[in-house]
Structure 1
Amino acid sequence: MNEQESPEVQARIRSSFERQGLMRHLGARLADIAPGRVSITLAARSEVTQQHDYVHAGATSAIADCAGGYAALTLFDQDSEVLTVEYKINLLEPAAGDHIEAVGTVLKRGRTLTVCLLEVYGLQAGGERKLVANGQQTLIRVDRPAG
């Protein structure tokens, strides 16, 4: 087992996620943590939908951004944090389903900049999974603030 798969890295990612006020406000849940890959789910409740009952693009992009950031963070040491420098998301279909799932996957890890693939799927109760958004993100590694 390498460091990225360690219980310490899992705990660090979970602890950081729990401090995310927006994720808590949206009701998002950390679903899976693997080296260079993180997924986050969000139930399609009325509080996160738009006027046509699809999950709002803002909620869709927020969990995609977060999934990519945590995917990158799995590859850095405990003294590191990441911040989004930029991201672009394409909304391919209305975000329909009982839940949506954002998957962030590291495409290229650098010492300073890391690039991630972002994918968001609509999930139906019967298990059907449909790609509703995709994008790309650039993150910068920064030192964890003291304190």
Structure 2
Amino acid sequence: METPDSEFGAAVRRALRTMPAAAHLGLRVGALTPGAAELVLAVRPEHTQHDGHVAGSVLGALADFAGGSAAGTLLPPGWTSMTMDYTVKLLAPARGDTVLARGRVVRAGRSTSVAAADVVVLDSGTETMSATALITMRNLEVG
């Protein structure tokens, strides 16, 4: 995929850094390429349920941020995207020390983009897919 913004990486990192919810979770940006984004979460106790598994709401937030970040890599300078809708399917319990959310653009449009995200948990070197999602983003010119 091609991006109209040669500084897409800085734009996506800035968007996540200035978003209070993403900052609260402690997300880090992993790989970024046009049309794809990987986010990394070091699991903390406050991300988990009473049984030690990462909460489904946290997995959903990660999928949303990853899909939105992937869509953001394809936006023109001065544009942002906001979530219109997302659906998350939880596939397996998420127990581990790191969660990776890998977003990818399914369709990039001028006003609406659709992305997908897979959320995997790393536990002692083993990767388990815990959730998958489909995310619809509204693209908006800022300023």
TM range (shorter): over 0.9
Match of 1:143 in 2: 141
2:5 and 2:74 in contact (8 A); partners too? no
Number of residue pairs the alignment of both structures matches? 142
- How far apart, CA to CA, are the structure 2 residues paired with 1:82 and 1:5? 14
Match of 2:35 in 1: 36
Match of 1:77 in 2: 76
Structure 1's consecutive aligned runs of 4 or more residues displaced over 6 angstroms after TM superposition are: none
- How far apart, CA to CA, are the structure 2 residues paired with 1:66 and 1:27? 12
Q: Deviation digits for residues 10-65 of structure 1, max 9, x if unmatched?
A: 11111111101111111111112111101111112101101110111111111110
Alpha-carbon offset, residue 95 of structure 1: 1.1
Query: One-letter code of the match for 1:122?
Result: V
Alpha-carbon offset, residue 3 of structure 1: 4.8
- How far apart, CA to CA, are the structure 1 residues paired with 2:46 and 2:55? 9
Q: TM-score, normalised by structure 2?
A: 0.93
Shift in alpha-carbon separation, 1:10–1:23, aligned structure 2, 3 A = same
- How far apart, CA to CA, are the structure 2 residues paired with 1:29 and 1:43? 9
Local SS of the residue matching 2:14: helix
Q: TM-score, normalised by structure 1?
A: 0.90
Query: One-letter code of the match for 2:64?
Result: D
2:5 and 2:76 in contact (8 A); partners too? no
Local SS of the residue matching 2:83: strand
Q: Deviation digits for residues 65-95 of structure 1, max 9, x if unmatched?
A: 0111110011111121111110000011111
Alignment of 1:1-147 (within 5 A): 3=3, 6=6, 8-126=7-125, 128-144=126-142, 146=143
1:81 and 1:143 in contact (8 A); partners too? yes
- How far apart, CA to CA, are the structure 2 residues paired with 1:104 and 1:71? 5
Percent identical pairs in the alignment equals: 32
- How far apart, CA to CA, are the structure 1 residues paired with 2:111 and 2:3? 20
Local SS of the residue matching 1:53: coil
Alpha-carbon offset, residue 125 of structure 1: 3.0
Local SS of the residue matching 2:38: strand
Query: One-letter code of the match for 2:136?
Result: T
2:3 and 2:34 in contact (8 A); partners too? no
- How far apart, CA to CA, are the structure 1 residues paired with 2:8 and 2:105? 16
